[in-house]
Structure 1
Amino acid sequence: MPRLMLHLHSLLVQEQRRLVLWAPVGLALGAVLYFGLLRTEPSLLEGVVLPCGMAVLASIAAWHMRYSLWGRLLWGGCITVGLGFAAAWGGTHRHTPMPDLPRFATEISGIVQAISLLPPVDGTDAPFERRVDLAQAVFHNALNEGMPPLRRVLSVYLQPNDSVPLQVGDQLRVKALLQPPPFPALPGARDRQFEAWFANQAGSGRALGHVQLVTMGQTGHGHKLQLWFENLRERINTRIHTILPGSKGGVAATVLVGASETVEKQVREDFAASGLAHLLAVAGLHLGIVMGLVMAASRLLLAATEYTALRWSCKALAALCAWSVGLVYVLLTGAHLPAQRSLFMAAVAVLGIAAGRRVVSMRGLAMAACVLVLCMPQVVMGVAFQMSMAAVMALVAGYEVLQPKLTRWRASTTGFGHWLAWHGAVLALTSVLAGCATLPVAMAHFGVIQPFFVVANMVAVPLMAVWIMPLGLLAVGFMPLHMDAPFLWLMGAGIRPVIWLAHIVAHWPAARVAVPHMPGWGLLAVMLGLNWICLWRQHWRWVGCAGLVLGMASPWLLVQPDVVISPDGGLVGVRDSGKVYVIGQSRAQRPIMQAWGQYFAQPVEVFPPEGETPGGALTCGAEDTPDTCVALLRGQDVVVRRQDTSDGRELLPADICAGADVVISTAPLRASCPNVPIRLDRFSAWENGAEAVFVHQSKNVVRTDRAWRGQRPWVLKPGGHGMPVLPLAPSE
């Protein structure tokens, strides 16, 4: 043991300049500890005072032990983890509670914050559907009359034939049926309530009538600059779809104004299956292309004049000009998280150029990650932060190792053929590094593996860089002069082969391999292993491969539930013979079945009222029990009753209850089967959310969504109820 500790100490001494790169990892671990491991909400003392106090004491101890490497590691970890935990608590409690939305059709008034155009679901040539985000919404009904305006945003889908012209800042009134953010489809699945909490969303709804425009151009809400950008985005989006209808317009609007919701569903699926989904998310690639083009043009113009070339720092000025244009581009595309991260890293690069320091480095990435985690700690749980950080970290670490070899190879070759081969090799290497780093993250969040991403990216990325984005920028620049149509047509000509390529690659055999759900500890092992490989430089970095292998194998090490119940209790899924057979009905049947299929990586199909599975484990519609299904799983009898007209008042036969180990009903069970050990029905789903049953020969286990997520601020009460939005009491 002493020899091992001495060896580790010598390795850490060699890597001591890289220790600071682990600061964002500690901050992220503190946030993960708060968001992922706790089941009850800590108080102010537990969430802020104690972690900050620990960070202060750790800072004092680290100062006194500044000459001890082990002391600096220990106390540095305590500081970063404590600050990450406190930042997560503060970021959570900055948001207002979820409001209790009306369960009946009600009149709503509010101020338009954003307008989105959505393509038809069936892929026809029908007009686009509009979705408006309403701020300061007020409900006009007897219960909520006199209520204060909501401090969260409501998303309302307008009727397709509603042609009332709207723009950001207008105040409107519409009758709509609202619903809160949905519960997870099963315990451990995607949590849309968590996402809505930090996105300042209150819920969504669908308009039941046409919009009534109350007032136009309300500039008192929000900042005028924000309203101006939102209106500009809407006008550019409309102009793009006028010139480029269909899928080409959706892709063009995505890369120019961030309107990714306008992309057709089939095109989106093809891009995802071929590994080109990053082209539909404005991030580092798009910002890098925009800033690179602007910097090249600016530096050329500055160098063309003798006075500026001899007296000014053309490179620094060009970089500053490129960053300014990049800032406008980020605001124009909606300022999403990946774009914000890329913009901050670009700012660090510009400072490096101005100071004569190294531009692209792991320290710049670490600084950007620290700022993002401290300002928006919830990003550590999101796919955008994880994929962008993993890709950039892998690229920086990979080129740190391979750059000397690539430089020698380029210097030793001449001619156009060698130049083309060198650029092709660099492009393939970039795709391999970024794709392999983000592959486990895609497995965890999307449940898929795209093995042909290198082939698609080697063609699509150059087209995006040298054809699509330059012509798109020219189109936006000439749009005020009404001379944008030729550039948009040429841009569409470049988008067409990319869409075709995505469609061809997506339909190759095994282009999209489904994998089961990856547990949280598996994703954590992957990210820690990837950090270990990328942040160290010595040979011990390859120990991190163990974390990668363990995390990527975790979906097959996890025990999957045998029976799942939807959050509303209307659907029951039984796993048998490599499929998930769905029994019952629900208003949210399609998204729940999609979530189940992604979770289990198995086909999902609706089971008929009468019949049996090929293996005979599930049988429905017997003569004596027409509304009942019986599943024999691992020697245990699971009885599932469909919802019927009796609303559960008709009791199940005593012979079925006598031999059952688990009874599940899509209607209330009431007094049926009182002696069965596990009884689950619509009432239990209403109280506990989605439920999962693990069938074992010795003991059956039930896991509920409410027990999985605990009592946290973003978890709605049973039935999806939030904080009542009652009016203030009258003053005496």
Structure 2
Amino acid sequence: MPHLMLHLHSLLVQEQRRLVLWAPMGLALGAVLYFGLLRTEPALLVGFVLPCGVAVLASIAAWGMRYSLWGRLLWGGCITVALGFAAAWGGTHRHPPMPDLPRFATEISGTVQAIAHLPSENGTDAPFERRVELAQAVFYNALDDGMPPLRRVLSIYLQPNDLTVLRVGDQLHVKALLQPPPFLALPGTRDKQFEAWFANQAGSGRAVGYVQLEATAQMAWGHNKPQLWFETLRERMNARIHAVLPGPEGGVAATVLVGASETVEKQVREDFAASGLAHLLAVAGLHLGIVMGLVMAAGRLLLATTEYTALRWPCKALAALCAWGVGLVYVLLTGAHLPAQRSLLMAAVAVLGIAAGRRVVSMRGLAVAACVLVLCMPQVVMGVAFQMSMAAVMALVAGYEVLQPWLMRWRASTTGAGHWLAWHGAVLALTSVLAGCATLPVAMAHFGVIQPFFVVANMVAVPLMAVWIMPFGLLALALMPLHMDAPFLWLMGAGIRPVIGLAHMVAHWPAARVAVPHMPGWGLLAVMLGLCWVCLWRQYWRWAGCASLVLGMASPWLVAQPDVVISPDGGLVGVRDAGKIHVMGQSRAQRPVMQAWSQYFAQPVEMFPPQGETPDGALVCGAEDAPDTCVALLRGQDVVVRRQDASDGRALLPAALCVGVDVVISVAPLRASCPNVPIRLDRFSAWENGAEAVFLRKSGNVVRTDRTWRGQRPWVLKPGGHGMPVLPLAPSE
């Protein structure tokens, strides 16, 4: 043991300049501890004051032990984890509580904050359906009379035949049926309530009448915020792009130029996702890098054309600053989404490096950007955008750190156009492999898929995006005020068309999209820790992180999966048998719930007939004595499912069905049915606990519910989807 510790100390001494790169990981672990492991919300003293105190005391201890490597590691880890926990608590409580939305059609008035045009699912010839984001919304009903305006935003889907002309900043009045953010389809799946909490969303709804304008926007700089100006500009540019480029090309062009990703057709989006090109439809580092690279090259060339500026001015630094300014405008124009903000922050670090004459792309720059993001927006550590972008950039930097000497020798030895093309093709393939392999486990965890042909698709699509689509798109944006943008938009569409065809072709190759079961949280954590271990260290012990990577990627097959699942409203029951999920019952959210179950289990989901039987006889429905009931024999245990209740809900299950049964589930209230059954689940239990999953085991059956999985946190709505009541304002004196 002493020899092992001495050897470990020797390795850490050699890597001591890389220890600071682990600061973002400590901050992220603190945020994960707050978001993922707690089941009750800590108070101010425990959630913020205590971690800050721990960070201060750890800083004092680290200063006192500054000459001890182990002391710096211990107390440095305590500092970062405590700061990450405190930042997560503070970021959560900066947002207002979720309001309690009306459960009936309600008259609403509010200010249009954004307008999105959604392509109809019936085809491209159908009119677009609009979605408006309403801020400062007020409800007009007896219960909410005199309420203050909502501090969160409502998303209202307008009727397709509503032709009312709307602009950002307009005051409108509409009657809509609202619903809160949905509950989890299954414990462990995507948490849309968590996303809505940090996106400042209150819920969504559909208009049941036409919109009435109460007041139009005054688009003067002294009256409205710049955000409204940018939203209006985005809306006009989006309309212009679709006028010149109708069809799928216009949707992709509007996505990369103004961030209108909702206009991309469903089939095109699915093809891009299946072929590994989904990142082209998310404005992030690739698009910002192309924009800034083009602007920097043009700016530096322009400054170099004059002898005075070329000899006396820092042309490279000035061009970089100009490129970052254009990048800032581009990020605002595309909606300032989180991946774009992360990329802009990293670009700022690179520009500062250029201005200071330091190395531009480095692990330290990535660490600084990650630390700032986690401290300012700690919720990003739970999102797929942050995880994928950080994993890709980290793998690229680490990969080129190792391969750069070999690549430089090869480039110096190449002569001729053929060797030049081969070198660039190899670099492009290497970039796709590094980024794709690093993000593959993250895609497994969040989307449940593996895309083995992503390298082939990216080797063709990314160069087209860099040298054809984005340059002509930027020229079109620059000339749009002069109404000279149409030729460049046509050329941009000519480049988008083969990319769409490529995505469609690759998506239909055999095994282009391999489904994998749900990855548990500890598996994703093991993947990220292993990836950081491989990328952040430089000595031979870095390869020990491969064990953590393999363990994390194998985790979907190492954990037990539930045998029976119940939807959040209790209307759907799924039984896993013979490689399929047999679904019984009815629900308003039937389609999204079944899609979530299919992704979770990586198995097909199908509705089971009222009278049917599986080939192995494990599931039988529609027996003569109980026509609305199904009986399943799973893992040697009997499960009874009442799939519907044609009576008034007071009918009891036959007593004969309850004899020797281990689990009974009903889409209607069970009431006094089967009182001696160990596990009884019905619509009431689903209303109180959310989605439920039953694990059948010989040692004892286990029921996992949404309420026990997430606990009582600020973003978790109360039973029935209720939030904080919106109390009326006090009467004025």
Please report the TM-score for the alignment, with normalisation by the length of structure 1. Answer: 0.99
Aligned to 1:434: 435
Aligned to 1:99: 99
Greater mean deviation of Cα atoms: 474-483 or 588-597: 474-483
1:333-732 residue pairs with structure 2 within 5 A?
333-730=334-731
Contact 2:523 2:552 in 1 (8 A): yes
SS in structure 2 of the partner of residue 115 of structure 1: strand
Give the deviation of 1:661 after TM superposition. Answer: 1.1
Aligned to 2:62: 62
SS in structure 1 of the partner of residue 291 of structure 2: helix
1:272-311 residue pairs with structure 2 within 5 A?
272-311=273-312
Letter of the 2:413 counterpart: S
Letter of the 1:162 counterpart: D
Aligned to 2:229: 228
SS in structure 2 of the partner of residue 96 of structure 1: coil
Contact 2:565 2:573 in 1 (8 A): yes
Aligned to 2:128: 128
SS in structure 2 of the partner of residue 627 of structure 1: strand
Letter of the 1:504 counterpart: M
Deviations 1:619-663 (A, max 9, x none): 000111100000000111100002222143111111001131111
SS in structure 2 of the partner of residue 561 of structure 1: coil
CA distance in 1, matches of 2:137, 2:109: 5
CA distance in 2, matches of 1:35, 1:85: 9
Contact 2:124 2:247 in 1 (8 A): no
CA distance in 2, matches of 1:328, 1:348: 17
Letter of the 1:499 counterpart: I
SS in structure 2 of the partner of residue 629 of structure 1: strand
Aligned to 2:175: 175
Deviations 1:164-183 (A, max 9, x none): 11111000000000000000
Aligned to 1:165: 165
Letter of the 1:50 counterpart: L
SS in structure 1 of the partner of residue 623 of structure 2: coil
Give the deviation of 1:108 after TM superposition. Answer: 0.4
Contact 1:647 1:667 in 2 (8 A): no
Deviations 1:10-49 (A, max 9, x none): 0000000000000010000000000000000011111111
SS in structure 2 of the partner of residue 175 of structure 1: strand
Greater mean deviation of Cα atoms: 373-382 or 238-247: 238-247
CA distance in 1, matches of 2:615, 2:108: 51
Letter of the 1:389 counterpart: M
1:200-239 residue pairs with structure 2 within 5 A?
200-217=200-217, 224-239=225-240
SS in structure 2 of the partner of residue 574 of structure 1: strand
Letter of the 2:338 counterpart: L
CA distance in 1, matches of 2:449, 2:380: 22
CA distance in 2, matches of 1:124, 1:391: 35
Greater mean deviation of Cα atoms: 476-485 or 78-87: 476-485
Letter of the 1:267 counterpart: V
Letter of the 1:154 counterpart: L
Aligned to 2:53: 53
Give the deviation of 1:672 after TM superposition. Answer: 1.0
Contact 1:113 1:134 in 2 (8 A): yes
SS in structure 2 of the partner of residue 621 of structure 1: strand
Give the deviation of 1:728 after TM superposition. Answer: 2.6
CA distance in 2, matches of 1:337, 1:731: 42
CA distance in 2, matches of 1:731, 1:488: 57
Contact 2:473 2:489 in 1 (8 A): yes
Letter of the 1:32 counterpart: V
SS in structure 2 of the partner of residue 235 of structure 1: helix
Contact 2:218 2:224 in 1 (8 A): no
Letter of the 1:3 counterpart: H
Aligned length: 732
Greater mean deviation of Cα atoms: 523-532 or 689-698: 689-698
Aligned to 2:188: 188
Letter of the 1:81 counterpart: V
Deviations 1:53-111 (A, max 9, x none): 11101000000100000000000000000000000000000000000000000000000
CA distance in 2, matches of 1:393, 1:345: 12
Percent sequence identity is: 87
Structure 1 stretches of 5 or more lacking a match?
none
Give the deviation of 1:223 after TM superposition. Answer: 5.3
Contact 1:143 1:726 in 2 (8 A): no
Give the deviation of 1:123 after TM superposition. Answer: 3.1
Give the deviation of 1:222 after TM superposition. Answer: 9.2
CA distance in 2, matches of 1:571, 1:123: 30
CA distance in 1, matches of 2:405, 2:111: 56
Deviations 1:209-228 (A, max 9, x none): 11001000056999521111
Letter of the 1:609 counterpart: P
Give the deviation of 1:122 after TM superposition. Answer: 3.1
Give the deviation of 1:698 after TM superposition. Answer: 3.5
Give the deviation of 1:498 after TM superposition. Answer: 0.2
Contact 1:688 1:718 in 2 (8 A): yes
Asked whether 1:79 is paired with 2:79, we answer yes
Contact 2:331 2:340 in 1 (8 A): yes
CA distance in 1, matches of 2:518, 2:616: 25
Give the deviation of 1:413 after TM superposition. Answer: 1.1
1:133-148 residue pairs with structure 2 within 5 A?
133-148=133-148
SS in structure 2 of the partner of residue 626 of structure 1: strand
SS in structure 1 of the partner of residue 626 of structure 2: coil
Contact 1:647 1:668 in 2 (8 A): no
Letter of the 2:208 counterpart: L
Contact 2:629 2:644 in 1 (8 A): no
SS in structure 2 of the partner of residue 479 of structure 1: helix
Deviations 1:220-261 (A, max 9, x none): 999521111000001111111111111111100110011111
CA distance in 2, matches of 1:686, 1:596: 19
Contact 1:119 1:264 in 2 (8 A): yes
CA distance in 1, matches of 2:727, 2:175: 19
Letter of the 2:123 counterpart: G
Letter of the 2:391 counterpart: A
Contact 1:47 1:86 in 2 (8 A): yes
Deviations 1:125-166 (A, max 9, x none): 101110000000000011101100000000000000111111
Deviations 1:557-598 (A, max 9, x none): 010000000000000000000000100000000000000000
Asked whether 1:116 is paired with 2:138, we answer no
Q: Structure 1 pair 552/222, CA: closer, same or farther in 2 (3 Å)?
A: farther
Letter of the 2:372 counterpart: V
Deviations 1:306-328 (A, max 9, x none): 11111111111111111100000
Letter of the 2:119 counterpart: P
Letter of the 1:358 counterpart: R
Deviations 1:326-357 (A, max 9, x none): 00000000111111111111111111111111
CA distance in 2, matches of 1:411, 1:569: 66
Greater mean deviation of Cα atoms: 634-643 or 90-99: 634-643
Give the deviation of 1:670 after TM superposition. Answer: 1.1
Aligned to 2:253: 252
Aligned to 1:326: 327
CA distance in 1, matches of 2:266, 2:553: 28
CA distance in 1, matches of 2:662, 2:358: 69
CA distance in 1, matches of 2:638, 2:370: 51
